[in-house]
């Protein structure tokens, strides 16, 4: 009985072992395959065939190539000849180096005339508080069609647009204005003229033509002035030439003493005083020793000089002269008499030192 039981158990174990071996053989066979076409080929049984599962995708040309026979070296790939029309063109948009250098040199030679034209236009636009700003670094435009620089267009000190000025390969000087904000596109404009024989007047005309719309826009933005300011401005313009001539005459006399009067700014409306005033510096050998104001009153011209040091307050002067019948000589004497005490004290102090 025991013997029979042992034989049964041994048979079961032997059957389980054979089953494991059979399953292992089946698993190994599923790891590779040979197609029906491959089976028809007479292949050396010693050759091992390996299939790459992460092969990179092939180009249409590589898929069309015939399959290589095992054991033969692969031929080196041959680059297909490129037709002239299909060959890439390098730097097609860039002019030749010599042409680029020539255009840059011409641009540089035009800068003094362009700057003079900008100054001339800015003087005309000043009452509108409109001005062309300083030039930026020169550069090539899109697709290298021209060489030039950008400037800001300022309204009351605020930048409202870019003004691009450039020279193209055909010798045309181009000016284009583009607003920063979309609600101001009405000022966008462009103008051009031949750069050959450019003069200050022609450069100014180019800017004027390009800035017509901007000037109209600036006129609408100009703050409304009251009647007193307009009357004061008109009154100052009536004596401006006499003031300039009187200062020139006074400085000619002061030059012997190493002194001069230097205007700090053009005469401007002083809202608190309700009149126009010109501020000047009184200098002795380059040192600022006092301040002078020249004002246009309704019927008189007033000249005043003041010093910074409280202990020199006695050097201050304030004098007036009627506008009616005023001459350059009369105003020059008034200016000199007000400035001389401060100048004399400064020279005396230096001699004692």
Task: Reply yes or no on whether the pLDDT at 167 is more than 90.
Answer: yes
Buried b (16+ CB within 10 A) or exposed e, 37-52: eeeeeeeeeeeeeeee
Q: What percent of the chain has pLDDT over 70?
A: 71
pLDDT (mean) for 56-70:
43
pLDDT at position 295, please? 95
pLDDT at position 188, please? 97
| Distance separating alpha carbons of residues 196 and 194, to the nearest angstrom | 5
CA distances from residue 45 to 41, 48, 49, 223 in whole angstroms, order as listed: 11, 8, 10, 101
pLDDT (mean) for 297-315:
86
Task: Reply yes or no on whether the pLDDT at 89 is more than 80.
Answer: no
Total residue length of the chain: 353
pLDDT (mean) for 74-81:
49
> Is 145 strand, coil or helix?
coil
pLDDT at position 271, please? 84
Sign, CA torsion 262/268/273/275: positive
**Residue 206 and residue 198 in contact, taking contact as beta carbons nearer than 8 Å:** no
Closest CA to 177 of 143, 216, 129: 216
| Distance separating alpha carbons of residues 206 and 200, to the nearest angstrom | 10
Task: Write the Ramachandran bin of 322: left for phi over 0, alpha for psi from -120 to 50, otherwise beta.
Answer: beta
Would you place residue 29 in the very low, low, confident or very high pLDDT band (cuts 50, 70, 90)? low
pLDDT (mean) for 254-276:
90
> Is 129 strand, coil or helix?
coil
| Distance separating alpha carbons of residues 336 and 253, to the nearest angstrom | 9
| Distance separating alpha carbons of residues 344 and 312, to the nearest angstrom | 12
Task: Reply yes or no on whether the pLDDT at 206 is more than 60.
Answer: yes
Question: Which of 64-78, 103-117, 296-310, 312-326 has maximum average pLDDT?
Answer: 103-117
**Residue 261 and residue 339 in contact, taking contact as beta carbons nearer than 8 Å:** yes
Among 93-107, 186-200, 212-226, 255-269, which is the least confidently predicted range? 93-107
CA distances from residue 245 to 125, 129, 225, 269, 336 in whole angstroms, order as listed: 25, 27, 29, 21, 13
Among 37-41, 66-70, 125-129, 243-247, which is the least confidently predicted range? 66-70
């Amino acid at each position: 009985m025991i013997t029979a039981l042992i034989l049964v158990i041994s048979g079961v174990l032997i059957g389980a072992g054979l089953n494991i071996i059979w399953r292992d053989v089946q698993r190994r066979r599923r790891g590779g395959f040979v197609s029906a076409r491959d089976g028809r080929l007479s292949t050396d049984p010693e050759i091992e065939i390996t299939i790459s599962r992460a092969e990179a995708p092939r180009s249409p040309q590589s898929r069309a190539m015939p399959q290589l026979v095992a054991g033969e070296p692969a031929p080196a790939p041959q680059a297909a000849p490129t037709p002239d029309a299909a060959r890439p063109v390098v730097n097609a948009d860039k002019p030749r180096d010599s042409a680029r250098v020539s255009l840059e040199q011409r641009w540089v030679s035009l800068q003094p005339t362009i700057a003079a034209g900008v100054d001339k236009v800015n003087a005309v636009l000043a009452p509108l508080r409109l001005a062309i700003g300083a030039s930026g670094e020169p550069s090539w435009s899109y697709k290298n069609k021209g060489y030039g620089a950008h400037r800001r267009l300022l309204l009351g000190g605020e930048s409202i647009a870019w003004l691009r000025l450039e020279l193209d390969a055909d010798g045309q000087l181009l000016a284009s204005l583009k607003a920063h904000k979309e609600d101001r596109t009405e000022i966008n404009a462009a103008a051009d003229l031949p750069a050959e024989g450019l003069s200050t007047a022609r450069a100014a005309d180019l800017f004027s033509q390009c800035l017509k719309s901007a000037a109209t826009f600036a006129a609408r933005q100009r703050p409304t002035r009251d009647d007193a300011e307009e009357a004061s401005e008109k009154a100052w313009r009536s004596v401006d030439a006499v003031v300039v001539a009187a200062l020139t005459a006074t400085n000619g006399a002061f030059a012997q003493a190493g002194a001069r009067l230097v205007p700090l700014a053009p005469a401007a409306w002083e809202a608190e005083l309700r009149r126009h005033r010109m501020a000047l510096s009184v200098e002795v050998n380059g040192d600022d020793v006092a301040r002078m104001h020249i004002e246009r009153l309704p019927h008189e011209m007033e000249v005043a000089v003041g010093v910074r040091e409280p202990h020199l307050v006695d050097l201050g002067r304030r004098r007036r002269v009627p506008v009616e019948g005023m001459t350059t000589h009369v105003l020059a004497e008034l200016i000199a008499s007000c400035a001389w005490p401060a100048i004399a004290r400064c020279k005396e102090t230096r001699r004692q030192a």
